[in-house]
Amino acid sequence: MEILVFDFGGTQGRCGLASRDGKLSRVLRLQRSNGEEGGTWFERLLAAGRGIVSQQTRTVAVSFGGPVATDGRILSMHVAGWEKVDLRGELSRAFRLPIVVENDANCGALGEFHFGAGRGKRTIAYMTVSTGIGGGVILDGKLYRGAHGMAAEFGHMVLHPGPNAPQYAAGKPGVLEALSSGPAIARDARAKLAELKLPVPEKLTAKDVFDAAGRSENWACDVLGDAIGHLGRGVAAAICAYDVERVVIGGGVAQAGKLLFEPLREKVAAYIPHYLAEKYDIVPAELGDDAPMLGAVALVADV
């Protein structure tokens, strides 16, 4: 059976064909233009899909970059024109095929569980740390969606309450996303450099901060110590809440390797109760950008 797979993102999108065993083919990548409205972006992605769909295609599976209701309606997206769109209905009318839709973090969890770093486990938490922080949880081999399809919104856990709590993008002040995401690390690095009266680069990213920490630059080590400390509390909370065997960390920040994972494991160990010690592990994701698409493929069997 052939599956048409979409990965709808706010700035990038992909579509391709896939087999049930996770083999991707004819993958097309699209870049959203600056200022391009959601409706136009949606139509371009649909046109790409129409260009590769075949008579052997039996299902359309979608990973969407934002919260999606259980009925397939978009709840939120940082692109004008997406909110409240009946994504499942629009795709059904476009392709006249069965449609499965899930948010990209849940798809990432499913992808890693079936085809990546979660293979062989029954209960895992997946956390993606990049521009934002999202996640998904697999309990006893099944995706856990929660009562409203909003489970595992790890980035929205408030870990730093108070009047001086930092804020980033959507969400309440002091949430994990405002403390440990890539942009949050860059923001705190700029503030730290300014405080020390050191030059502040015009373009500074989380990767730049990790690179500086790799050179043992104190300002970068301090910034990352705070960010990884907050992330460790978030990961520990997920372990305590779901009693998982494995935590899989993906996203751009996870590409920092041991500079992230070694201190993160130490922080998490300090925050969890002793009876959970050595009952879990924390590993990097294996699938990279393919995780959401492969998770969408897994949806076809998982729903």
Domain ranges (residues) in the chain: 2-104+290-302, 117-285
Residue 264: which pLDDT band, with cuts at 50, 70 and 90? very high
In CATH terms, the superfamily for domain 117-285 is: ATPase, nucleotide binding domain (3.30.420.40)
pLDDT at residue 52 in the model? 93
**Hey, which of 2-11, 17-26, 204-213 has the most confident mean pLDDT?**
204-213
When the pLDDT of each residue in the chain is averaged and rounded to a whole number, the result is: 90
Q: Which of 124, 106, 118, 121 is nearest to 244 (CA)?
A: 124
Q: State mean pLDDT over 171-198.
A: 92
- Report domain 2-104+290-302's class: alpha beta
Lowest mean pLDDT among 89-98, 146-155, 220-229, 257-266: 146-155
Secondary structure (H, E, C), 7-18: EECCCEEEEEEE
pLDDT tens-digit readout, 127-177: 999 888 999 999 999 999 988 888 999 999 999 887 777 877 667 888 999
Whether 118 contacts 246, CB under 8 Å: yes
pLDDT at residue 147 in the model? 85
